[in-house]
Chains A and B, each alone.
Chain A
Amino acid sequence: MRRGAYLRQLDIDLERWASLGLIDPADVDVLRAQAGPAARQYSLSGMLFMLGVILIACAIMIFIGANWQALPRLLRLGILLALMWSAYGGAFALLRQGRAVFAEGALLIGTVLFGAAIMLVGQMYHINAGWPNGVLLWACGSFLTAAVVPSRACAALAMLLFSIWSGGISFSHDWVMHWPFLAALAAMIVLARALDFRPLAHLIVLSFIAWSFANALVLADDLHDGEFPYFVTLMMTLALAMWLGGLGATKLGAKFGGLVAGYGVFFLTGIVFLLQFAEDDAVSGNLTAVLIYVCGGLVAALALAASALRAIKPIDALIAAGLIGAALVSCTLGDDWPHGPNYLFAGIDLAFVAWLVSYGLRTHRTFAVNLAFVAFGAEVLYLYFVVFGTMLQQSALFAVGGVLFLIAAFVLERVRREVVKPGREGAFKP
């Protein structure tokens, strides 16, 4: 639960408990103070200022892009430098006045002007359009501002620029893998921890997923056969690693472990759905063996570690093993597999959905439960549209699946009633 939401809920609960006589009304303020300071609040004026800053930043870039031919080059560069220094000077003055949000805006303008100056120099000397190294330099300048001053806005800009840099290099070389991005990512992770900036952590994870997706496609593209199941297996390994690793890291006190685990679950849901499309080509025997050892071994190790840390239950570890096993099986399926809907992997997807619901309920993660219903709906829709010509098979699958779900619901309800029966030792007490 976010800090702001937690404190609001705490206020409501304290008032209710005091009215019910559970706590002394005089203790309400003491308990509230114990919870720590209120979460950082952003005022309307602060938000409007940031929007204005973004618009100004766009105006600056477009102005530079219009070539600005009327003035001599050095004068243009000098004006940009003067504006950059003014922005940073303004940021300093605003920080001294305690206007943190406005100072962030000024720092952002200064960093954008640094980027504009780099692009202008590139224009002056006809350095190749696109110029990934220019973007890298801008990203490094933004990172420097974020780390030294410090500045959260510049940190977010740095992550965006590093992503653009990596994409630019891959694209300019006709899509190649770009490993140096991981070094930039590592630096951003350290920065996110230092700044305790959760939105930056989101940005980092999303950038990493996008980079992994693109580079896995490049890797798979080099194969003659089995590109898609190979790609899906790599993505399945990554998603499971994020989920298991994130949960394990949370147990070890890592700050954003839960966030990584959440994205891992989200990613996993998508990949499990894709699994049913991965049976067209078989991956070569040698590569499949490598995948078994590397991907299977990694997932097994992470599942064991997470279990040892009590971050997951045995059923969760089994699910992880089952999913990576399913992906590896898809690598071995060849063109002999009948065309049409893959009932095996459709069944696996439905089983995964059922597990996801239980996982979300057990761990109080509402988003996992909601995600499960979305995934369930997507699977049903897919099967409906794909098997339109064989409605009898579809009907049989839905009937069997529906009966299984009903039986499971009946059994779980019996168990739940037994567990919450009043007077039963260990039963929940309100």
Chain B
Amino acid sequence: MTQALRIGIVVLLQTLALGAIVADRALILATGREVVLETEPVDPRDLFRGDYVTLNYTASQVDLGTVDGDDDGFATSKPAYVVFKDDGGTWRPAAIYHARPASSALAAGEVAVKAAVLNVYTFSADDRWPRCPGGCDMVSLSYGVESYFVPEGTGEVLEDARNDRRLEVVVAVRGDGRAAIKALKMDGRTFAEEGLF
């Protein structure tokens, strides 16, 4: 194999890999179903890290006792599928499963979003955890949409809105459950919208 061919193979495969990521993300934004997620304040000690805003969602922690689906068996770093239901414009978790539910099993206003389990907690009544003062089993999740990149020095507006619970995130969700950030809403109005490219 000549040197030119070897380097050509490397360049081709790396370029194709980049193209595949772009195409995949563009496909999610173009064809994914829109789901609006409420954000929650992030611990004020988590400082703005220079070029992106950390997004924490109400649905980032799911109380297994308040939703349908699987009750236990969730493990750190394993996938989970959260079924969101439209609740007057804002989508909330209605069920959680280990495996992706069939599309036919979902009702008209429901979307299954893929997440990674970050941790599983068991709280007792003595713990007085704010989300479940009487005790519960809680699953902490990451949907892959917890970062929003912004121009340097401009994130503070978004951080303030997030901490005041005025920020909502519109994510596009594909049939396989993968999500991508499509737009941000502040005080109910679209603040930023992502194009395909």
Contacts and interface: CB of A to CB of B under 8 A. Distances in A.
Interface of A: 65-67, 69, 73-74, 77, 81, 84-85, 88-89, 91-92, 95-96, 110, 114, 117-118, 121, 123-129, 137, 141, 144-145, 148-149, 169, 172-174, 176
B7 A66 contact: no
A69 B151 contact: yes
A95 B3 contact: yes
Contacts of A149: 3, 6-7, 10
A77 B76 contact: no
Contacts of B51: 65-67, 123
- Which of B49, B52, B147, B152 has the most chain A CB within a 10 Å cutoff? B147
B99 interface: no
A128 B142 contact: yes
Contacts of B116: 173
B89 to A, nearest CB: 22
A97 to B, nearest CB: 12
Given A65-B51, A125-B194, A173 B118 contact: yes
B180 A126 contact: yes
Contacts of B13: 141, 144
B21 A121 contact: yes
A129 B52 contact: yes
A129 to B, nearest CB: 4
Contacts of A169: 77
A336 to B, nearest CB: 33
A67 B14 contact: no
Given A81-B18, A129-B147, A141-B17, A174 B119 contact: yes
B18 A118 contact: yes
A319 to B, nearest CB: 39
Contacts of B10: 88, 141, 144-145, 148-149
B11 interface: yes
A81 B18 CA distance: 9
B11 A125 contact: no
Nearest to B148: A126
A61 to B, nearest CB: 12
Interface of B: 3-4, 6-7, 9-11, 13-15, 17-18, 21-22, 25, 29, 49-52, 54, 76-77, 116, 118-119, 142, 144-152, 180-181, 194-195, 197
Contact of A66 (B49, B77, B152, B181): B152
Nearest to A66: B152
30 contacts: A65-B51, A66-B152, A67-B51, A67-B151, A67-B152, A74-B197, A77-B18, A77-B22, A88-B7, A88-B11, A95-B3, A114-B14, A117-B18, A123-B51, A124-B25, A127-B25, A128-B145, A128-B147, A129-B146, A129-B147, A137-B17, A141-B10, A148-B6, A169-B77, A172-B118, A172-B142, A173-B77, A174-B118, A174-B119, A176-B77
B147 A126 contact: yes
Contact of A125 (B7, B76, B142, B180): B180
B101 to A, nearest CB: 24
Contact of B144 (A74, A84, A127): A127
A73 B197 contact: yes
Given A126-B194, A174-B76, 9 more contacts: A67-B51, A89-B7, A123-B149, A125-B25, A126-B52, A126-B145, A129-B149, A172-B142, A173-B77
Contacts of A84: 11, 14-15
A129 B144 CA distance: 9
Contacts of B197: 73-74
A81 B15 CA distance: 8
A73 B76 CA distance: 35
A84 B13 CA distance: 12
B18 A128 contact: no
A127 B22 CA distance: 11
Contacts of A89: 7
Contact of B76 (A81, A121, A144, A173): A173
- Which of A84, A91, A148 has the most chain B CB within a 10 Å cutoff? A148
A320 to B, nearest CB: 36
A231 B67 CA distance: 39
A121 B22 contact: yes
B3 A92 contact: yes
A351 B54 CA distance: 54
Contacts of A124: 22, 25, 149
Given A121-B22, A121-B25, A144-B13, A126 B181 contact: yes
A125 B145 CA distance: 10
Nearest to A151: B10
A95 B11 CA distance: 16
Given A77-B22, A125-B25, A149-B6, A85 B11 contact: yes
A141 to B, nearest CB: 5
Contacts of A96: 3
A9 to B, nearest CB: 36
A127 B26 CA distance: 12
Contacts of B18: 77, 81, 114, 117-118, 121
A172 B7 CA distance: 35
Given A85-B11, A128-B145, A118 B4 contact: no
B122 to A, nearest CB: 15
A218 B144 CA distance: 24
Nearest to B3: A95
